[in-house]
Structures are given as structure tokens and as C-alpha cells.
């Protein structure tokens, strides 16, 4: 019997398995990081405005910090099973920041001569 209160459709009847959600989150994060890195190499820094440059620098700092904290996070999982949720939330926040900075750099790349 289908849920009469499900307004989202059949695809949302069962949430994804935790392992699948982790894999997808990590894959999306890696993709965003690779896109960000390639745009950093392609865009000349003088094309960015000061405000754009601050966004890109903050995203780069967050990415570097996430890489540094990754090992600590996986150690924390051994002692706290809820640490995975915090790790995934952090990955999503950083991925969104990387996507934003990448969008800014794509616009700046279009302004390049």
C-alpha cells in the first residue's frame, strides 16, 4: 500500500542506504574539488574583483582545511557513530562553497581576453 501522504512520488518512498549516501556525497565533493582546481588553474587572478577573490580564497581555505581534518574525522568515527553525519554535513557545506566559487570563476573566465 502506498503512503497517501507522500507528495514527492515513488522515488522518495525509501531513503538511500547510508553507504550509498556516503559514496554519493564523497563523489560530489571530489567532482566539485576537481572543477574548482581546474578553474583556479585556468583563471588569471587579476581578472577577479576583490570580492570575487575573497570568495575563491575562502573556498580554497575550506578545501585545504577539510583535507587536513579528514583523517581526524575518520578517527572520530571509531568512537562516535554520529561523526559520519557531521562529516557529511561538512562535505556538503564545503561542496556548496566550492560550487559557488567555481561559478564565480567561470564568469570571470568569460571576461578574460
pLDDT-derived band of residue 13, with 50, 70 and 90 as boundaries? Answer: low
User: What's the whole-number mean pLDDT along residues 93-101?
Assistant: 95
Q: Could you tell me the end-to-end alpha-carbon distance of the chain, in angstroms, rounded to an integer? A: 60
Per residue in 27-81, pLDDT (tens digit) is 999 999 999 999 999 999 899 999 999 999 999 999 999 888 877 877 887 888 7
CB atoms within 10 A of CB 98: 26
What 8-state DSSP symbol labels residue 4?
A: T
Answering whether pTM is above 0.95, one says no
What is the distance between the alpha carbons of residues 46 and 53, in angstroms, rounded to a whole number? 9
From 106, 105, 90, select the one nearest 26 (Cα to Cα). Answer: 90
Name the residue with higher pLDDT: 83 or 99: 99
CB 63 within 8 A of CB 94: yes
SS3 state of residue 44: coil
pLDDT of residue 4: 66
CB 101 within 8 A of CB 55: yes
What 8-state DSSP symbol labels residue 82?
A: T
What is the distance between the alpha carbons of residues 32 and 53, in angstroms, rounded to a whole number? 18
- Phi, psi (rounded to 5 degrees) for 68: -65, -40
- What residue ranges do the domains of the chain occupy? 29-34+48-113
Amino acid at each position: 500500500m502506498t503512503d497517501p501522504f507522500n507528495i514527492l512520488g515513488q522515488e522518495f518512498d525509501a531513503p538511500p542506504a547510508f553507504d550509498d549516501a556516503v559514496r554519493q556525497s564523497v563523489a560530489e565533493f571530489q567532482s566539485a574539488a576537481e572543477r574548482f582546481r581546474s578553474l583556479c588553474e585556468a583563471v588569471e587572478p587579476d581578472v577577479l574583483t576583490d570580492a570575487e577573490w575573497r570568495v575563491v580564497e575562502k573556498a580554497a581555505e575550506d578545501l585545504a582545511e577539510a583535507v587536513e581534518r579528514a583523517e581526524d574525522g575518520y578517527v572520530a568515527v571509531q568512537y562516535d557513530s554520529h561523526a559520519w553525519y557531521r562529516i557529511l554535513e561538512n562535505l556538503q557545506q564545503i561542496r556548496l562553497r566550492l560550487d559557488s566559487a567555481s561559478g564565480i570563476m567561470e564568469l570571470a573566465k568569460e571576461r578574460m581576453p
